Structure formats: C-alpha cells, structure tokens
Amino acid sequence: MGKGRRLMRPFFLFGAVWILSSFRLLKPALVVVDAGHGGKDPGAHGKVYKEKDITLAVALRLAELLRKDSHFRVILTRDTDTFVELVRRADTANKAHADFFVSIHCNANPKKDIHGSETYALGEHKSQDNLTVVMRENSSILMEEGYQRTYDGFDPNSEEAYIIFSLMQHAFLKQSLRLAKKIEDNLIEKTKRPSRGVKQAGFLVLWRTSMPSVLCEIGFISHPQEEKFLASSAGQEYIAQAIHQALRQYIAAGQE
C-alpha cells in the first residue's frame, strides 16, 4: 500500500500543477484602456469635435464591452474629462500588473483627404509621417509640470530625441505587434475603412509599460467624413467592438 502511494505521488504533483495552470488560464486578463488626452489637453481638433472627447467615448464603450466579458477585467486611466500625465498612464498599468495596455487616439493631418486607422507599437519610426504623428502625441508632456525631469530631458519636438528609440526595444515588442495587427484586421472588418497598417514610433506613453502595449490611431479627425464617423455612437461602437474582438482573439491564440 505504502509503495502504491509513493508510485502515485508524481501523478498527484502533475494534477496539482495542471490545476494551478488552468486557474492561471482562467484568470481574466486585465486590460488598461487609456483614453488619449483630456482636461487642459484637447489633443487634435476636427471641424466640430476634439480628440479628447472621442477617445474618452470610445474608451468608455470598450471598457463596458470588456466588463461584460468574463475573459477580461478593465481599468481606465481616466473616465472623465481630466488631464493625466503620460507617465502616470503607464504607471497605472504597471502597478496593476496589467496584461494589456491599449491607448486610444485620433489622428490628424493638414491634408484633409487622408483617412483610415493605424496601430502603433513602441519603436523606431520608419517615415517622416510617423514621426509627425508621434511628435504631436508626445507634445502633451509640455503641459505637464516638471516634464524635463520626468522624461529625462526628452524634448518631444526635437527629431534627434527620437534616435533613442532605435537603440532600445520594448520587452513585449513581438506581442505588441501581434495585438496591433489583430486590432487593424478587426477595424477593417467592423468599420469598413482602410487600414494604414501596423507601425512603430517612440510614443512616451508606451515607453515604460511592462506588458504588450499598443497605441491605436482610430481615424483622422481632420477628415470631415471620418470625423463624423468617429464622433457617432455607431462608429464608436464598431471601433470598441473591433478592439474587444482583437483582444479576445489574442488570448484565444495563447500568449506564446
């Protein structure tokens, strides 16, 4: 009998490990949803709407979808019209040990005919267009008190400052790019608008996050038709659904 028990021991151990790993898989994934800009920082302007209001509406809608889904838990970096420093947004995700960080923004371009979505992971920009986008988004820190200290003297308006992003790689780059691709694929399907693809640039809000992290430019507020779409509740619903679906597909595929 004693010998039998000893023989069974590895099976008990295997069972315990299996049960524990199943619990880990069953645990809902924590998503930090980050509505770009807010408060004194309006972000980009359309003809009628401000970026900060559209990003908040989409973030709230996405949070609602995630809360109804047992696979996820959610934290918002802001749920009202308030100013939140970029570094604090990343801190919120790190402190909560989040599994994903999704920052939502609207794009803008002086050429009013440019439209479509693009999703970024942290990295070196490959074109002047992408540099223009990241410089505009990062310039939010100029409204933060003591930004030079917080971001180690980083000047968001200096092209040279962005060389730093060619020298470093986000620990979760591969995963971030995979999530970004799923978001773009789902945006095409749900919103029937063109995707401008998955890109990389030195977004300060993604700089210090320690989980797969993306910044989604959901569309161009400078494009009159797209501005209307982004501000409409149907448009916001489609975008939120696309990001939700992308996160679901990501966790269903496993986090290898």
On whether the CB atoms of residues 38 and 105 are closer than 8 A, the answer is no
85 binds Zn ion (CB under 5 A): no
46 binds Zn ion (CB under 5 A): no
Q: Which stretch binds Zn ion (CB under 5 A): 11-19, 129-137, 160-168, 227-235?
A: 129-137
Q: Between 54 and 177, whose beta carbon lies closer to Zn ion?
A: 54
On whether the CB atoms of residues 107 and 119 are closer than 8 A, the answer is no
43 binds Zn ion (CB under 5 A): yes
Name the amino acid, one letter, at 28: P
Q: How far is the CB of 111 from Zn ion (least distance, A)?
A: 18
Q: Between 147 and 250, whose beta carbon lies closer to Zn ion?
A: 147
On whether the CB atoms of residues 59 and 34 are closer than 8 A, the answer is yes
On whether the CB atoms of residues 240 and 62 are closer than 8 A, the answer is yes
Residue from 105, 115, 190, 223 touching Zn ion (CB under 5 A): that is: 105
Could you tell me which residues come within 8 angstroms of residue 227 by beta carbon, excluding any fewer than 6 positions away? Answer: 46, 47, 48, 49, 220, 221
Q: How far is the CB of 46 from Zn ion (least distance, A)?
A: 12
Residue from 137, 144, 227, 237 touching Zn ion (CB under 5 A): that is: 137
Q: How far is the CB of 35 from Zn ion (least distance, A)?
A: 10
38 binds Zn ion (CB under 5 A): no
Q: How far is the CB of 191 from Zn ion (least distance, A)?
A: 18
Q: How far, in Å, CA of 183 to CA of 71, rounded?
A: 17
Q: Between 30 and 141, whose beta carbon lies closer to Zn ion?
A: 141
Q: Between 30 and 214, whose beta carbon lies closer to Zn ion?
A: 214
Q: How far, in Å, CA of 180 to CA of 194, rounded?
A: 15
Going by C-alpha positions, the residue among 116, 146, 136 that lies closest to residue 217 is 116
Name the amino acid, one letter, at 44: A
Q: How far is the CB of 227 from Zn ion (least distance, A)?
A: 14
Residue from 36, 38, 202, 235 touching Zn ion (CB under 5 A): that is: 36
Q: How far, in Å, CA of 24 to CA of 95, rounded?
A: 19
What is the binding site for Zn ion (CB under 5 A)? 36, 43, 105, 137
